Chain A
Amino acid sequence: MDWCRKSSRKIAVVFYIAFTTSIIFGCANIEKLFRPLLGSSNFDSHIVRNGDYFPLPIKKLFVGAILFERDYPTVAAAKKGIKLIEVRRLNRRKISENEANLSWSKDGSVLSFESIAQNVRRINLRDLRRYTAIKELIILKKRSDNFLNGIIKSDIHSYNAGLSWSMDGGKYAFMSNGGMGNYDIYVGELGEKARVIAPNPAKDGYALFSLVSQELAFVSGRSGNGDIYLMNLKNDELQRLTYSKRVDIFPEWFPSGDKIVFSSGSSNNHKIGIVTRSKGKRTWNKPYILTYWKGDSLRPTVSPNGRYIAFYSDFNEGGTNETRWDIYVMPYQSKKVYNQWELADMKVAEGVLVDLNTGPAWTPDSKKVFYVKKDATRFNPICSYDLYTGKNYILKTGTKMNRDILLSKHGILSFRAQVGAWDRVFIALTNQGYQLQKDRYRPRQIEYINRKMGKGNGL
């Protein structure tokens, strides 16, 4: 009897989840899509041995993975350098839409991307562990209390962008105008309806989950000029973190969850700012600027080990009128502020394409930065810079006009590239996954491209 009661409760829970998620996502068989998240999977617990480097779902997805394991039978050989194993289109459908703005779930199992048509932007999800079709995340139109309810069609498409996953993969957040013209942050959870957090008539965007807690950082125009806010989803407490009269934008969490780095500026003068949590407290310290120089510094990204910050800057020592964007990597030291002379020596790549969606992409081992080189004759190839060897790599992906580069935990490079006239999402398997590259951290000196930095910067 007991067993019977428990089983019926389980069935009821599954039905409830299936029912509520289908309301949120508006797609059939949604339960199938998220079954791996609900059930067990060996995706994240793969043990690397000689000749066996990738979890089974990745081997199923990339045939080249098996060949790679055969060609590089030892871990030492397999992890050496940067190896591009296989490149493939994520979505082979012929559609007249551009695809962009990729994002990985924290465990590297689900890739989201946006498809853009006219004034509609939809978020699509692709679970790499399964051969399920791509699922679309649909936001129901916000209810407005007027007499037209029920008379007009309620399937007005909304503009949805910037999906971010919580650490456990159970929650997601994104920006949407709900089809009603007001950009808010929506947070959803498996089995629950997506809800708006901290609603305000001003725009909210750039939502990003903390890597350790149920906190969500986002940018809001409610202050009058764009500031960073923090929402604690446990108690719905909203906190304003920055108070500058400049626009504070592109927030990025440190892996420790106690610091947020961002760009701050009023025109072509963005600096990299940081706000830190008071030790042992829930309060946050006054934010401060990390970079004092003439360059416009945009879209910082933090290395997975939390020791470096990479960002784009158009700082031009030569002083020519031509704008050229470069990537700089700055070691993070508490309270350390960098001046122009120090920063000018921290360049790791020149003439790059600014990617505001993703920023410079870090490998899971925090040793390499991936970026797109602005190179007309090669149609903007994907490149990588090894911070410790100073070696530059051009990845022969066979794709052109690449953008939105990201690396998943398992070393899957995701990006968009032009096919015909349209932007399409590609995924490429590399040997840069944490499972192959994990190594005990040893302080080393970064090889900057002008190699002027003194000793002691390898934090």
Chain B
Amino acid sequence: MIKDLLFGFYKGCPLVVLSILILPGATKLVAVEKRTLIYGETTRLSTFDPYTVHEASGQRLGDLLFDSLVEISEGGRYTAGLAKDWKIENGGTSVLFKLKKNVFWHKRVQDKEWVKFTANDVFTTLRLLLAKKSQIPNQNRFDAIASSEILSPYLIRITLNRAMVDPLKPMVFKILPSHILGSNRELQRNNPFTTHPIGTGPYQFVRANKNLEILLRKNRRYYGKKPQIPQIVMKTYSDQSVMAQSLMFNAIDLITYVSPKDLAELSGDRNINLIPYDALSFSFIAINTNRGILRDKRVRKAISYSINRKEMLKAFFHEKGVLISGPFPPTSWAYNIDVKPIEFNQKRAKQLLNEAGVLKGDGKVKEGNKLLFLVPLSGKSEMIKRIVLAIQGYLGAVGLSIELRFMDWLVWKRKVLRDHEYDLTLASWSFDDASNITSLFHSKNTKAWDNNFVQYRNTKVDSMLTYAAVTNDFDKRRAIYHKLHSVLADDVPYVYLWTLVHHAAHNVKVSGIRIEPFSFFKYIGKWRIRDKLGRDSK
């Protein structure tokens, strides 16, 4: 199979193949082929750079091809990437970076010499990221950065728009090459660079074929831990289960995501290892606290009581996740373990609905109180339909009737985030690295397109959020967040559902694998693969 792929690659450059074959090293080529890591993804990428693509598979590919100035390591610590050292200045309004000198850009066929990485590359990257016409999904994630200033070829200052408690957070972005993109005003999807990316990362892009199988070769001048696997091939599958079967039939070596329905079969195969990693996000039912009966906290609480989250987690995700009681990861310092997830109790739910006076004598909701539940449809997954169908059943059992309205993702965004024309919806947020939830619950963020689309207003919560954002005393901040957690669980602007545990799976011939959820291939330098004869890539 890999030979097929390589043949496809070589067809375009027959002279190169010939020169390899007649060299003494030609026999090595076969050995190299055998020690190729083939991994599977399920989203088709149209571009391969780290910015114009927004799929997670593109981010993972970006980890192999590109580097950032600093990286986030275990426990949220920052470690050096392309920057050798850094200094936070002016109370967190700017950061001065001293860059590494022994870093080279991947060499293209037409390049005569290896091009060095300099401060100019950082400057160009930031210029492109901040250019309004650049086609970068979620470009507002770079809003915190104001400008950059080159002080010397290896010294650059990046200034922020305001003082930040954690000024390194916005600095975790991949660096693009100035010698290729320097003359571009913005980064467009049709730029040839997006399909022939050049980075400084541990692997170098070689070629993609018509099936979007991407061949990468190790960067032999990589400044960091040198990779031990000579080649990597990324394959795209249109079905998750077909990808899982390909892994079990030994056709590929690793899949980055295992669908819950395939987990049991994969875990029953002794040739396959499963690696759990946090999804780094949580799912919830958003309740528009500014509409009809939902203004009443008792009704919101009743909704929360009526839903059997434990059963859904078991039925849909084989219990590969954790029920949560607030908007933080259970492992976070901000999570208050004393606040327990609301138990499934439909009797209590009915009692609360009766107290709120929304039910008629027959136990059904009064006329005009039907709730509008908007459901976004995006991607291939059927899971969202399964979840809302179960929720409809649970709410129906306590007398609440909902009108489910499925809609395209963009329409959903307009209806929910801009117009706030909904009662309930299903959504998920990525956990904030710093557990900052100000944008989600502060009453100043209730305007169109703001993140507080549940229209939650609580002056007590506002003042706690404001105080927590400015204090540098960690203990105080933690105490405030624990209190916030308790208030937000009691007020029920969200029905907090769960945070999931995802799984990657690999053949046992791949070893040394360690996965960071925010940077899948971060430790690729330590990965090894055995060939058919059992020889290690090391």
Contacts and interface: CB of A to CB of B under 8 A. Distances in A.
Given A120-B264, A224-B250, A379 B239 contact: no
Q: Number of contact residues on A: which range applies?
A: 35 or more
B390 A421 contact: yes
Interface string B4-31: 1100000000000000000000000000
Contacts of A321: 44, 46
A62 to B, nearest CB: 26
Contacts of B269: 177, 181-183, 203
B318 interface: yes
A221 B532 CA distance: 13
Interface stretch (B114-122, B324-332, B375-383): B375-383
Interface string A152-167: 0000001101000000
Given A121-B264, A201-B271, A401 B382 contact: yes
Interface stretch (A32-40, A71-79, A83-91, A245-253): A245-253
Interface string B247-288: 011110000000000011101111100000000000000000
Q: Which has the most chain B C-beta neighbours within 10 Å: A203, A323, A401?
A: A203
A455 B41 CA distance: 42
B242 interface: yes
Interface stretch (B81-89, B307-315, B335-343, B477-485): B307-315
B235 A249 contact: no
A267 B236 contact: yes
B458 interface: no
A267 B250 contact: no
A270 B242 contact: yes
30 contacts: A118-B318, A119-B267, A119-B268, A121-B264, A121-B265, A158-B268, A161-B265, A181-B269, A182-B270, A203-B271, A219-B249, A221-B250, A221-B251, A225-B249, A225-B250, A226-B251, A245-B4, A266-B251, A267-B40, A269-B211, A314-B238, A379-B385, A400-B389, A401-B382, A418-B386, A418-B389, A418-B390, A421-B308, A421-B312, A421-B316
Contacts of B213: 266-267
A221 B265 contact: no
Interface in A158-211: 158-159, 161, 177, 180-183, 201-203, 205
B242 to A, nearest CB: 7
A301 interface: no
B3 interface: yes
A400 B393 CA distance: 12
A323 B380 contact: yes
A376 interface: yes
A298 interface: yes
Nearest to A419: B393
B264 A249 contact: no
B249 A221 contact: yes
Contacts of B421: none
A242 B428 CA distance: 45
B389 A203 contact: no
A268 B237 contact: yes
Contacts of B490: none
A334 interface: no
Contacts of A379: 385, 389
Given A181-B270, A202-B249, 16 more contacts: A121-B264, A221-B251, A224-B532, A226-B246, A226-B250, A246-B251, A266-B5, A267-B235, A298-B242, A314-B238, A354-B239, A356-B242, A418-B389, A420-B390, A421-B308, A421-B386
A109 interface: no
A96 interface: yes
Contacts of A356: 239, 241-242
B375 to A, nearest CB: 7
Contacts of A120: 264
Interface string B185-225: 00000000000000000000000000111000000000000
Contacts of A226: 245-246, 249-251
B462 interface: no
Contact of B235 (A116, A121, A219, A266): A266
Interface of A: 96, 98, 116, 118-121, 158-159, 161, 177, 180-183, 201-203, 205, 219-221, 224-226, 245-247, 249, 266-270, 296, 298, 314, 321, 323, 353-354, 356, 376-377, 379-380, 400-401, 418, 420-423
Contacts of B389: 379, 400-401, 418
A180 B270 contact: yes
B491 interface: no
A246 to B, nearest CB: 6
B82 to A, nearest CB: 33
A221 B268 contact: no
A221 B211 contact: no
Nearest to A356: B241
Contact of A249 (B238, B245, B316, B406): B245
Categorize the interface residue count of chain B.
35 or more
A159 B238 CA distance: 26
Contacts of A247: 1, 245-246, 249, 251
Contact of A323 (B238, B268, B404): B238
A293 to B, nearest CB: 12
B238 A268 contact: yes
B238 A376 contact: no
A269 B406 CA distance: 31
B536 interface: no
B268 A183 contact: yes
Given A182-B270, A225-B1, A422-B315, A380 B246 contact: no
- The listed residue with most A CB atoms (<10 A of its CB), out of B213, B311, B315, B390, is B315
Nearest to B390: A421
A224 B249 CA distance: 7
Contact of A298 (B46, B239, B390): B239
B238 A266 contact: no
B249 to A, nearest CB: 3
A353 B249 contact: no
A370 B99 CA distance: 63
Contacts of B311: 96, 420-421
A338 B116 CA distance: 52
Contacts of B312: 421
A118 B319 contact: yes
Nearest to A376: B406
Contacts of A422: 315
Nearest to B319: A118
Which are the 7 A-B pairs with shortest beta-carbon distances?
A: A181-B270, A226-B249, A221-B249, A159-B268, A267-B235, A376-B406, A421-B315
A219 B248 CA distance: 11
B362 to A, nearest CB: 22
Contacts of B235: 266-268
B377 to A, nearest CB: 6
B377 A376 contact: yes
A222 B265 CA distance: 18
A361 B244 CA distance: 24
Contact of A380 (B44, B241, B308, B385): B385
Contacts of B264: 116, 118-121, 159
Contacts of A354: 239
Contacts of A418: 386, 389-390
Contacts of A353: 382
Nearest to A202: B250
Contact of B386 (A116, A202, A267, A401): A401
B248 A266 contact: no
Contacts of B44: 268, 321, 323
A249 B249 contact: yes
Give the residue among B46, B239, B267 with the most A Cβ atoms within 10 A.
B239
Contact of B314 (A96, A225, A266): A96
B177 to A, nearest CB: 27
A159 B268 CA distance: 7
Contact of A177 (B268, B319, B393): B268
Interface string B33-51: 0000000100010100000
Contacts of A423: 315
Given A118-B264, A177-B269, A247-B251, A98 B385 contact: no
